[in-house]
Amino acid sequence: MFLPSFSRYTKSCRPERSLRCFCSSSPVLLRDSSLAHAQLHAAGPIGFVFDIDGVLIRGGKRIEAAKPALQLLNHHRIPWILLTNGGGYSEAARTAYLSTLLDVNINPVQLIQSHTPFKGFTKTYRRILAVGGLEDRVRHVARDYGFEDVLIPADIIRSNQSVWPFHGFSADQLNRWALDPSITNVFKKPIDAIMVFNDPRDMGTDIQIIVDYLNSDNGLYGTIRNLHKVSHNHTPSIPIFFSNNDLLWANDFNLPRFGQGQLRIIIERLYQELNNSLTLDSTIFGKPFKSQYDFAHHILIDWYQSLLKNPNLINFNSNSQALKQILPSIGEIPVNSPFNKIYMVGDNPESDIKGANNYGWESCLVRTGVFKDDDLPDLKVKPTMIVDNVYEAIKFVLDINGYI
């Protein structure tokens, strides 16, 4: 059994660390523990939002503090959701995997991936280029969201391999993952938008194809627009959406690895070179952007209300019937939130903590991912607290809010 140590609380709040534990502000407390077991706290409930990589798992393995942390929240019937800048899978597939790995039941409506808000674009864009992830899984995710016509970079390479002669696809992979050129009509039918769902697996191919589309004539591949006829060439030929802006993320290597933010930086720099040094006009989702936190706030409210109606939802498993996720409009600001406080638990100061602070949530920074104590002198964002792991964060927050 995992037994946490609380010795680091005092250490993390010492003045010499230039950080202060702001959680001592006066919360609304409901100290009747028997009531906490019977129903959700109606007077000033709290909620939790968790990052995944570096908080609950790392390198495909469960962080041992994760299971008891989530079990403790379920025991006190405190609503929680997952907010990750990861993706590449459907929400149902990802939560099924996480439920098994963490040994805690997770409902698909509790998960917000960086590309989950893309669901709101299915009526705006019909034919899209979906980028990122393994094999052709991103196509299946996009189709599951409701996009009618989905291309992936492998489709363009199969149509004409000279598009990027240094691609990493084998003939067998192209036959298995890419659609037949007679179906895709890459050079005859334009696309409406580019959506980067996940980190690229073949960076060179993705960069070439994305930049070609951004500078095409109205989204038709293999063409190029006339810059003399473009009034605002910071605006690409077709819109591009990045699902997150993470430059770094943590796996089981000892140093952080580059994420999707690397792709965005390269794309923007190349676009400047080809468009009179003007900045690419793009849209970025994910943490730390407000639109993603608005979206998450809506989902957390919906989950809280669902638990009030049906407490057994907390025992969701793969054989249960998943709830239909209620999707807010992109940019829709939540009103009448029931929560007294919401706590974001993350490992990345520049995404999890920055986003939470800017949004007005409490922020709990853990030492199990990107952040290390050596980063403290250069830390630009100050979290509410720094703790060793997610269990320590939960235990401390429940204590100061009178749940335990």
Percent of the chain with pLDDT over 70: 86
- Is beta strand 111-112 parallel, antiparallel or unpaired with respect to 80-83? parallel
Q: Are 126 and 151 in contact (CB under 8 A)?
A: no
**Amino acid letter at 126?**
R
The average pLDDT across 18-44 equals 36
| pLDDT of residue 346 exceeding 50 | yes
Query: What are the Cα distances from residue 350, in Å, to 55, 295, 374?
Result: 15, 19, 16
Fold agreement between 7-114+296-400 and 116-284: yes
Q: In sequence order, what are the beta bridge partners of 345?
A: 50, 364
Give the residue from 333, 329, 324, 287 showing the smallest Cα distance to 303.
324
Q: At what angle do helices 66-75 and 390-400 cross, to 10 degrees?
A: 30
Instruction: Report pLDDT for 6.
Output: 29
CB distance 351 to 83 below 8 Å: no
For the chain, the average pLDDT equals: 86
CATH topology of domain 7-114+296-400: Rossmann fold (3.40.50)
pLDDT at 404 over 80: yes
What one-character DSSP code corresponds to residue 250?
-
Pick the CATH number of 116-284 from 3.40.50.11030, 3.40.50.300, 3.40.140.10, 3.40.50.1000: 3.40.50.1000
Least confident range from 13-17, 119-123, 278-282, 356-360: namely 13-17
pLDDT on residue 88: 87
Mean pLDDT of 340-365: 95
For residues 149-154, give the mean pLDDT.
98
Least confident residue range of 12-21, 32-41, 198-207: 12-21
Amino acid 317: pLDDT: 64
Q: How far apart are CA 212 and CA 199, in angstroms?
A: 19
Provide the pLDDT for residue 4. Answer: 34
Is the alpha carbon torsion for 128, 152, 180, 147 positive or negative? negative
Q: How far apart are CA 205 and CA 129, in angstroms?
A: 13
Regarding predicted confidence, which is higher, 228 or 402? 402
Better pLDDT: 255 or 27: 255
Lowest mean pLDDT among 23-27, 106-110, 176-180, 366-370: 23-27
Instruction: Spell out the domain ranges in the chain.
Output: 7-114+296-400, 116-284
Q: What percent of the chain has pLDDT over 90?
A: 69
Mean pLDDT of 156-185: 96
Residue 270: name the closest of 305, 240, 292, 246 by CA: 240
* Class of residue 175 by CB neighbours under 10 A (exposed 0-12, middle 13-18, buried 19+): exposed
Q: Is the pLDDT of residue 38 over 70?
A: no
At 107-129, the pLDDT tens digits run: 999 999 999 999 989 999 999 99
61: left (phi over 0), alpha (psi -120 to 50) or beta: beta
* Helices within 275-353 (DSSP H only): 290-309
**Res. 30: pLDDT tops 60:** no
Residue 313: per-residue pLDDT = 80
Residue 27 has pLDDT above 90, yes or no: no
**Residue 41 confidence (pLDDT) above 60:** no
Q: Are 225 and 237 in contact (CB under 8 A)?
A: yes
Please compute the mean of the pLDDT values over residues 306-310 and round it to a whole number: 89
Q: Mean pLDDT throughout 165-182?
A: 96
Does residue 1 surpass a pLDDT of 90? no
Please answer whether residues 320 and 346 qualify as being in contact, where contact means their C-beta atoms are separated by less than 8 angstroms: no
Tell me: the pLDDT tens digits for 286-305? Answer: 999 999 999 999 999 999 99
Residue 63 has pLDDT above 50, yes or no: yes
pLDDT in tens, 74-105: 999 999 999 999 888 999 999 999 999 999 99
pLDDT category, 231, cuts 50, 70, 90?
Answer: low
Residues 6 or more apart in contact with residue 155 via CB below 8 angstroms: 178, 179, 181, 184, 186
CB 151 within 8 A of CB 130: yes
